[in-house]
A and B are shown apart, each in its own frame.
Chain A
Amino acid sequence: MRFESPTTTKEAAALLTGELGDAYILAGGTDLLVRMKLGLIEPALVVDIKKIPATQEINVSDKGISIGASVSGATMSEHAKLNKSWPGVVEAANLIGSDQIQSRCTIAGNLCNASPAADSVPALIAAGAKAVIVGEQRRRTVPVEKIITGPGTTSLQKGELIESILLPKQAARSADAYLRFIPRTEMDIAVVGVGINLTLARGVIQSARVVLGAVAPTPILVAKAAKAIVGTKLDAQALENLAAACSDACDPIDDKRGTIEYRTRVAGVLARRAAVIAFKRAGGA
């Protein structure tokens, strides 16, 4: 195995493009090293992107907040402006693993690992986040929901890597929230995850994005669930419609963490709770 730690994203893309064998990107390594240890992969090349300054920064601008691809969950939790603008994204990222994992894990890695149960991905999609992708020849910016194509697979081409995740500027009277359900209090994989971002106008929900995780092969943006709460003050009927729309959108697996029936039901319950949190954060009453 060859180990490289380039200092620019272009150089990283060139290394990935030039490698004929299996090439992998290393940011936090919390998934990559596990897969190496278990013998699931045998990389010919590992490209550590942590020495690339553009991947290490959180930048606040008029356009929003850009989070570098090797920024850890712990670093995100310490960024005041990020916490204020996108608390749901931060709480989702911080749910991943222990403090040891938080020191290393990244949201770009969570996205590229493409687990159906990835915690940060529903929150990113709800927030309308985009991934800045760099290849040897071109850069492109793609909505996060276009990245994961199935369990463990992404739309990234050979030689491409994510440089940063761009969160839009949060609108006024808006807020996001993320909740997940696991069978124990800490350190487990989501049975259901729900990310919600919503905007109010005179106390009424004007727009919303509702995203479910761990209940389908990929995280799903549920337009019908958003529709169920837009135009309402999140009254009992709206919450019931939201829950029904979420449960309806589920296509989960049966496993030791939860049955199909259970995951489907919990998706609705969790969506109601996440919506209430986002609504209150946005100043709704």
Chain B
Amino acid sequence: MSGFLVSTKINGDAFQFACPSEETLLDSLRNRVGLTGVKEGCGTGDCGACSITLDGSLVCSCLVLAAEADGREIGTVEGLSDGMKLHPLQEKFIEHAALQCGICTPGFLISAKALLEKNPKPSEKEIRYALAGNLCRCTGYDKIVRAVQAAAKEMRKK
């Protein structure tokens, strides 16, 4: 087994870790960096629970080798709030009860944030298509869509 030294910036902070070359970024983030907000659902890119941003683009961290992250910037759910102040998406997810078990929530938050950065005023259809790569088995999606709409409205005020 040959190892690899990965130097990254995670949620704005420089971070270095060593891992086997075949390790996924999902496993490194959880087990080496301690960012357990990144969840493993399917491990094959279908469920979106492990969604993160890599140099600003939305990806499934289960489909990225940690070695690929060398020299790149990673964004996870842990970087969403500003200290103790929650991100509007997080606030609206709570207000609208857009979660039950919570496993899918970090992925939904990251995907929704990526959407709102590109499109501050998405239609319901655009929200549903943008979140099609995130699966939730509790909410039936409707509350999630409402929460994203409410957060978008809140964010446009600022």
Contacts and interface: CB of A to CB of B under 8 A. Distances in A.
Given A103-B59, A104-B59, 18 more contacts: A3-B65, A29-B63, A33-B63, A33-B64, A37-B24, A43-B22, A46-B22, A48-B67, A74-B57, A97-B45, A98-B133, A99-B58, A99-B115, A100-B45, A100-B58, A100-B63, A100-B111, A103-B54
Interface in A31-51: 33-34, 36-38, 43, 46, 48, 50
A105 to B, nearest CB: 9
B133 A48 contact: no
A43 B33 CA distance: 25
Interface of B: 1-2, 4, 20-22, 24, 43-46, 48, 51, 54, 57-60, 62-65, 67-68, 111, 114-115, 129-130, 132-134
B68 A50 contact: yes
Interface residues of A, number: 27
A39 B1 CA distance: 16
B132 A38 contact: no
A58 to B, nearest CB: 16
Interface of A: 1-3, 5, 26, 29-30, 33-34, 36-38, 43, 46, 48, 50, 72, 74, 97-101, 103-104, 186-187
B102 to A, nearest CB: 19
A46 B21 CA distance: 9
A30 B24 CA distance: 12
A50 B4 CA distance: 17
Given A3-B4, A34-B44, A48-B68, A99 B114 contact: yes
A37 B22 contact: no
B51 to A, nearest CB: 6
A26 B69 CA distance: 13
Contacts of A5: 67-68
B73 to A, nearest CB: 14
Nearest to A184: B132
Contacts of B24: 33, 37
A3 B21 contact: yes
